Structure 1
Amino acid sequence: MSLFIEFHLIQNFAPSNLNRDDTGAPKDAIFGGYRRARISSQCLKRAVRQTAEFPAGHQGVRTKKLLELLSEQLRTQFGREAEDMSARIQLALAAAGLAVKEDGKTEYLLFLGQQEINGFAQLIDQHWDSLAVPASSEKKSKKDAKASAPAEVVKQAKTIMNGGKALDVALFGRMLADLPEVNQDAACQMAHAISTHRVEREFDYFTAVDDKGGPEETGAGMIGQVEFNSATFYRYTNINPAKLLENLQGDRDLLLNGLRAFTLALARAIPTGKQNTFAAHNPPSFIGVVIRHASPINLANAFEAPVYAERGQALTKPSVVKLAEYDNMLSAVYGDPRDCWAYLDLSQAWPQEKGSKLNSLTELADWVAQQIANAQEA
């Protein structure tokens, strides 16, 4: 049976520049023939990862500084000190097919679970003596370095990189071109957030005054401009709980705790771009969660024709209305009778007969976990 958890959010941000392009301007996109404000999915995923309070030991790390992390752990946890510690670590990593460049960083960003990092540290400590290598100025290729690693280390290294039951790795997946066998397909898909309405970029011309300027010094010490916008966004995310359970190696308790934590983080996560300038800490006005039994449905086309606010009316309310109307239309054709909604609605615009109205974010997170628990028991 196919089962998907979908999250549909309507969120209005005050003037801000939460996610910039290469010119420093807020990201945007053309949708339905109109320019829309946009926040990239990569930006939103990082905000969720930084916000989420996943169970201890089940948070991933994305870094090139694996050598540094392992060195610190070997010193503090295992009491290892040696001039050739770095060489030992590199040999152990080579056994797993990972290389470290001359600057001490890995070739590319690695997305590892904490359990995987712990596993490498334990492996190196266990085989400390056999990983000792003679001093040599010759730089070996990745293939040669792996071939020179002790056979037992190579065998054990292959079992370490299994995702480490890290929830963010399991949710968002990872891809290592050199090690396709350790790739994980994402259990979560997150769309770029787009504004429900047409937007135009605005410019903030600013000056800064030199605090120590004398009376003879006139004018500003610095002049510049910052681009920004303000928009009501539609955010969409879906999770395949069966795939998430697979990525978590069948740990059902971790699955349910992870879904609770993800629901809370998704609602609370706000990108950090230019926040010291704009402080746009605006939570969603509407959060709808639907359990779908056929296939995921992104409702962005509800806003293909831009929303326009009538005089004296906010953009949030008509956005929520259009979202509900569009879901009703699509569900009549593509939906499943078992599909069910729960929602938080500060706009008071979502039809009350359409799902279970909840009063707090915690209740919504518990509802998500309970629906999946019930589905697994059925």
Structure 2
Amino acid sequence: MSAFLEFHLIQNFAPSNLNRDDTGAPKDALFGGHRRARVSSQCFKRAVRDVARSQSLLPEEFMGVRTMKLKQLLQDKLPHRPAEETAGKIEAALAAAGLKLKDGGKTEYLLFLGEREISAFATLVDQHWDVLGGAEKKSKKDAKSSLPKEVIDQAKSILDGGKAVDVALFGRMLADLPSVNKDAACQVAHAISTHKVTREFDYFTAVDDVPDNDDGAGADMIGQIEFNSATLYRYAALDVAKLVSNLQGDQALALSAVEAFTHAMVRAIPSGKQNTFAAHNMPQFVGVCLRHASPMSLANAFEKPVQPRSDASYSDQSIKGLAEHDDKLGKVYGHPDDAWVWLDLSGQWPSEKGTSAASLIELAQKARQLAAKNLGA
């Protein structure tokens, strides 16, 4: 039976603008007929990847890079080769794999490649330096066809995902090479506030440290920034078997990926306007649930928005409502083997509902154990 490892977070952010739209306003959405704060899934996925890399949660070789500057990365990996000769040979090697470069040397669109894939391209160029030298002298159209079949086959075989965990988790789509696409093992929802929100405006002034007049009166800059404060419900669903498949059957790496993802998911905070607001607020609740029948978002616990109360915070009410909604859905759509592990700072999650963890380290280990149990590892 398929199994999904779900992540449910309740996280209250102080005044902030973590993810803004084209006008500079915090993103929002209508849900349950009320305006809610929103942080996009793409924004949180980038934050997850940043945490994983900055905190070295996984070895560098199992991480991915999203870039249009593949040519530059390959040149940096070939310092022992003459710089004036490298560019053409790299272009020929990439053409053999079906990747094109624009006149400026960048790829046609953002690529999401594993570090191993990038290193493999560098090795290909180094190994077949002379052969690629012949191809680079031909037109872009003829360069690929002039290469030996074994070089073309080797180039094409490189694009296998490289066991990059973030590529395996979040997937990739190369428009010109559908055969190397990766279906994401992890789905991430847009985070929404559990309550209705209203945008607020910060009117600010700035004064020049070197004034033009003696009294220093008046402002030299005037503006405004939009912001909000919200208790967010965050949700992600991870298909454990798909993750193993995307990592070429490497169960040990997949389990390490689950543990690393748990750390990164909890610590992920978008960087938007943080120099202005410093909204580094950790979650009040993190629940990891192993589902056996199908994934189940609990967002509808907040279709009716949480109301402000003097005796209970938004976070406390949200965590309590989350547990009640899960109980309601579980009786109808759940599976007897569904299991929760959780970290709760509020005291609102029922103690009998799953297994508690005292720290993020312990929670990540328990999430790994749930995944291992499902895989029979």
Above 0.5 in TM-score?
A: yes
Does residue 1:189 correspond to 2:187, yes or no? Answer: yes
| Residue 208 of structure 1, aligned match among 194, 198, 206 | 206
In structure 2, the partner of 1:29 is 29
What CA deviation, in whole Å up to 9, does each residue of 1:42-97 have, x standing for no partner? 0000000000122331000000000000001011xxx1114221000000000000
- In structure 2, how many angstroms separate the alpha carbons of the residues matched to 1:82 and 1:202? 53
- In structure 2, how many angstroms separate the alpha carbons of the residues matched to 1:213 and 1:361? 51
TM-score (ref. length: structure 2):
0.96
Q: Which amino acid aligns with 1:236?
A: Y
Cα RMSD after superposing both structures: 1.4
- In structure 1, how many angstroms separate the alpha carbons of the residues matched to 2:213 and 2:220? 13
**Within 5 Å, which residues of 2 pair with 1:117-266?**
117-133=118-134, 140-141=140-141, 144-216=142-214, 218-266=217-265
- In structure 1, how many angstroms separate the alpha carbons of the residues matched to 2:224 and 2:59? 43
Q: Which amino acid aligns with 1:239?
A: L
Displacement of 1:313: 2.5
| Residue 74 of structure 1, aligned match among 74, 78, 83 | 78
Q: Which amino acid aligns with 1:85?
A: T
Q: Is the 8 A contact 1:7 1:237 kept in 2?
A: yes
Q: Is the 8 A contact 1:55 1:258 kept in 2?
A: no
Q: Which amino acid aligns with 1:266?
A: M
TM-score (ref. length: structure 1):
0.96
Q: Is the 8 A contact 1:131 1:150 kept in 2?
A: no
What CA deviation, in whole Å up to 9, does each residue of 1:300-327 have, x standing for no partner? 0000000012124311000011101110
SS in 1 for 2:130: coil
Q: Is the 8 A contact 2:91 2:136 kept in 1?
A: no
Does residue 1:294 correspond to 2:298, yes or no? Answer: no
Q: Is the 8 A contact 2:89 2:136 kept in 1?
A: no
SS in 1 for 2:243: helix
Counterparts in 2 of 1:209 and 1:139: CA distance versus 1, 3 Å: farther
- In structure 2, how many angstroms separate the alpha carbons of the residues matched to 1:110 and 1:119? 15
Query: What is the aligned residue count?
Result: 372
- In structure 2, how many angstroms separate the alpha carbons of the residues matched to 1:151 and 1:292? 47
The ranges of structure 1 where at least 4 consecutive aligned residues each deviate by more than 4 angstroms after the TM superposition are none
**Within 5 Å, which residues of 2 pair with 1:29-68?**
29-52=29-52, 53-68=57-72
- In structure 1, how many angstroms separate the alpha carbons of the residues matched to 2:305 and 2:235? 17
Counterparts in 2 of 1:9 and 1:134: CA distance versus 1, 3 Å: closer
- In structure 1, how many angstroms separate the alpha carbons of the residues matched to 2:143 and 2:6? 46
